[in-house]
Structure 1
Amino acid sequence: MTPSARLQAAIELLDDIIVAARDNGASADNIAKKFFKVRRYAGSKDRRAVREHVYAAIRRFGERPENGRAAMVGLAKELPELRDSFDGSTYGPAKLEDNEQFAGGEAIAGWLLNEFAQPVDGNEKAALFDRAPLDIRLNPKKADASVIATAWPEVETLPLSHAYRLPTGTSVENSEAYNMGQIEIQDMGSQAIIAACLVGAPKLVLDMCAGAGGKTLGLAAQLPDDVRIIAADTDRGRLSRIDPRLRRSSTRNVETMLLSPNKEIEALEPLSGQCDLVLVDAPCTGTGTWRRNPELRWRMTPKRLEQTTELQARLLDLASRMVAPGGRLVYAVCSLLDAEGGDQTEAFLKEHPGWRDIEVDLPIGRPYRKGLLLTPYQDGTDGFYFTCLEKL
């Protein structure tokens, strides 16, 4: 492919990503995979170049562009080397026109700037666009640290138990350790949330928004085998992905529970007041994962934020009903917005006088509004807010 053809391909791929962001469709990565699957003529260098164009535009513009061409024209105004590729050739984009529409603005939409937690300053916001590291979690029931050191001598030991960091780009999923269930890929921030859940000795655990089961697996790996763990979610597709992971890790004390959206209580009712630990890894805007999913910014609107926080408050209230007296509720979001973090915790405690917040002692994170805040800049993790609450 010529440079012009690569740029035109980037424009077309961006068109698909922009529509998906507007309509809450597939992720940019999945769209890109499908895009290249039907364009087998694109070689590896072509695909890499197209992706670089696409993600440069996604990271640059906080507001969702009107279309792919507007995004790339906006980028070309800042990167003069791109302008020559707007040459009107057969497979390239049309030539630039005077007064042509183009994307602009800052990397974070203006309406969002004042929504971040107070410690998230300019340096913190800039770090949200750094390249994410590759963290893994050891399963202590199947291996010890020597397995990781043997497979990857360059491994970095992280400050949490069983947490390690590998050079970005390391092939993990093809390794024996991964296929034997000895390790899982998991950001250190997610592992910190698991660590917060391990306080005490729970016998019945509910992971109420389990998704594909990353934190469920982490809990199962570090809790005794006689602990009953229930992984629940409303998304059948995501929940089904936990099954092969359970088999790979030889985990047998986890059961899954499919919930009906807005009718979760029907399935959860038998657990009411019975759980020693409930984890609510709540649906959120994902501002803390922009390093991995920068197109999430294009999905955000004030209305979607409002809808998300309403859902979080409802899930928190529902989860609290499942907790036994003396039991604990861990609420977590991969977001750095106060509306999804500290605001939710403080509102919950105000409306539920029979609860108190519990201090969590971890080697990473900083105390913030009755919880802990983790950020890429401060902690080298994805961005998280989480809190541990106890039912009196």
Structure 2
Amino acid sequence: MTPAARYGAAIEILDAINTGTPAEQQLTRWARGARYAGSKDRAAVRDIVFDVLRRRASSAFLGGGDTGRALVLGLLRGQGADLDAVFTGQGHGPSPLDPSEDVSSALADAPRDVQLDLPEWVLSALDADHGDDATGIAQALRDRAPVGLRANLRHGTQEDLTTTLKALGHNSIPHDAAPGALVLPSGTRGLHLTEAYLSGLFELQDPGSQGLVARCPAQPNTRILDYCAGGGGKALALADAYDLDITAHDADPKRMKDLPERARRAGVSVQIAEQVPSDAQFDGIICDVPCSGSGAWRRAPEARWRSTPEQLETLCATQAQIVDDCVPMLAPGGWLAYMTCSLFAAENADQAAAILARHPHLSTEATWSTTPLNGTDGFYLHVFRAAS
């Protein structure tokens, strides 16, 4: 595909997304039908679509509308690109620009929420929750996220993995969020196909997510429950760091389907439980609760445009119920790590305060948070300790 044809494909995909089709679903549908598109073409089209979704409001402002064509036009204007090189009308490229598509307004003329590509209610919440950092966080959410790796320390150190990756042509940078954390530039692909990955040297995991696990007060030979395990990344990280009896559970067991193979590759043991007995007792419980995902909106950018205050309120109720379900399974003197990938205080500090009010036998042992300003996704951790 020519560069212009890639933008043409992105326009079609964005038009489909505008009808309500989720971005991932539409990208998959397009890729299956576009047999002429190679892997580099599919990756390039995906990047264009996600770049637009991260900057949808400013792209619509600069493009003069919210059609796929207007959004791509606005994105390119914002990047200072050569528009005539894309809107060629040749092959599968978009048709040449019409004089009516000329937009003289500069982004500086737009409202602040448009400049920062966030819904107004989200920006107001960030202002209230993060003060002077809110604008910087919003700006960071407009860009692609870097690639995070976690060195499996049973197979080698952070420095060993850096050397291995460099031999493969990937320059990585250590991150201080966790002992095995590394960061690579955004756009790095194919790491899961390397021998280093297949032999268990590393997992793909954001440094901030690793930082959550590194700050859990786990001890060897204790019984741990990862209650909202998802793909199991945190359970694997804990199992790599300690000799534990660790159980992974998720309300949707299909999310854990790859966990046994990942554990085998890493050389660790993780038990999977589709159901957790209500009378079970654990020395530590991880509650990585369902949340807005606002801390990871660089990776799932359409979520910012679909989220509403009402959905946030519903999520907060779900989070509270999950913690309330888990507290009775916490052994005396045990710890519970409440985690989110959210930037909103309503899901973080406010939720933690409410948990303490409902469960007076719990006390705060530690808190930690990080945002895209720290080179990570946005995460929050509150560690509670039960009375002995």
Q: TM-score, normalised by structure 1?
A: 0.80
- Residue 98 of structure 1: CA displacement? 5.7
Which deviates more from structure 2 when the two are superposed, residues 63-72 or residues 316-325?
63-72
1:262 corresponds in structure 2 to none
Alignment-mate amino acid for residue 257 of structure 1: A
2:181 corresponds in structure 1 to 163
1:362 corresponds in structure 2 to none
- Taking a change above 3 Å as real, the CA distance of residues 382 and 41 of structure 1, as seen in their structure-2 partners, is same
2:119 corresponds in structure 1 to 109
- Taking a change above 3 Å as real, the CA distance of residues 72 and 96 of structure 1, as seen in their structure-2 partners, is farther
How many equivalent pairs are there? 361
Distance 1:210 1:189 in 2: 16
Alignment-mate amino acid for residue 313 of structure 2: E
State yes or no: 1:347 paired with 2:334. Answer: no
1:373 corresponds in structure 2 to 369
2:283 corresponds in structure 1 to 276
1:248 corresponds in structure 2 to 265
Distance 1:125 1:61 in 2: 13
Distance 1:152 1:5 in 2: 33
Contact 1:207 1:279 in 2 (8 A): yes
Distance 1:149 1:46 in 2: 29
- Residue 67 of structure 1: CA displacement? 4.9
State yes or no: 1:303 paired with 2:320. Answer: no
Which of 33, 44, 51 is 1:38 aligned to? 33
Contact 2:155 2:201 in 1 (8 A): yes
Contact 1:64 1:297 in 2 (8 A): no
State yes or no: 1:323 paired with 2:330. Answer: yes
1:367 corresponds in structure 2 to none
Alignment-mate amino acid for residue 318 of structure 1: D
Contact 1:134 1:165 in 2 (8 A): yes
- Taking a change above 3 Å as real, the CA distance of residues 380 and 97 of structure 1, as seen in their structure-2 partners, is same
- Taking a change above 3 Å as real, the CA distance of residues 257 and 60 of structure 1, as seen in their structure-2 partners, is same
Q: TM-score, normalised by structure 2?
A: 0.81
State yes or no: 1:218 paired with 2:237. Answer: yes
Distance 1:18 1:142 in 2: 46
- Residue 234 of structure 1: CA displacement? 1.2
- Taking a change above 3 Å as real, the CA distance of residues 64 and 246 of structure 1, as seen in their structure-2 partners, is farther
Q: Where in structure 2 are there 5+ consecutive unaligned residues?
A: 61-65, 103-109
1:29-74 Cα deviation digits (max 9, x unpaired): x542441231122356654553444233212125998653453465
Alignment-mate amino acid for residue 304 of structure 2: R
Which of 227, 241, 253 is 1:236 aligned to? 253
State yes or no: 1:203 paired with 2:225. Answer: no
State yes or no: 1:183 paired with 2:199. Answer: no
1:276-333 Cα deviation digits (max 9, x unpaired): 1000111111111122222221221222212211111111111212111111100111
Which deviates more from structure 2 when the two are superposed, residues 188-197 or residues 200-209?
200-209
Contact 1:202 1:277 in 2 (8 A): no
**Structure 2 counterparts to residues 277-296 of structure 1, below 5 A:** 277-296=284-303
Contact 2:118 2:305 in 1 (8 A): no
Distance 2:2 2:200 in 1: 44
1:40 is paired with a residue of what secondary structure?
coil
- Taking a change above 3 Å as real, the CA distance of residues 303 and 80 of structure 1, as seen in their structure-2 partners, is same
1:366 corresponds in structure 2 to none
Contact 1:128 1:376 in 2 (8 A): yes
Contact 2:59 2:74 in 1 (8 A): no
More helix by share: 2
1:126 is paired with a residue of what secondary structure?
helix
Alignment-mate amino acid for residue 56 of structure 2: F
Distance 1:5 1:180 in 2: 38
- Taking a change above 3 Å as real, the CA distance of residues 181 and 91 of structure 1, as seen in their structure-2 partners, is closer
1:166-211 Cα deviation digits (max 9, x unpaired): 4552653233332122321211111111112244456110000001
Which deviates more from structure 2 when the two are superposed, residues 229-238 or residues 73-82?
73-82
Contact 2:231 2:259 in 1 (8 A): yes
Which of 56, 60, 69 is 1:61 aligned to? 56
Which of 342, 354, 367 is 1:335 aligned to? 342
**Structure 2 counterparts to residues 119-138 of structure 1, below 5 A:** 119=131, 120-138=133-151
Q: Where in structure 1 are there 5+ consecutive unaligned residues?
A: 260-266, 360-370
State yes or no: 1:258 paired with 2:274. Answer: yes
1:355-392 Cα deviation digits (max 9, x unpaired): 11113xxxxxxxxxxx3220121x21111111101111
Distance 2:173 2:365 in 1: 31
1:210 is paired with a residue of what secondary structure?
coil
1:11 corresponds in structure 2 to 11
- Taking a change above 3 Å as real, the CA distance of residues 44 and 215 of structure 1, as seen in their structure-2 partners, is closer
- Residue 155 of structure 1: CA displacement? 3.9
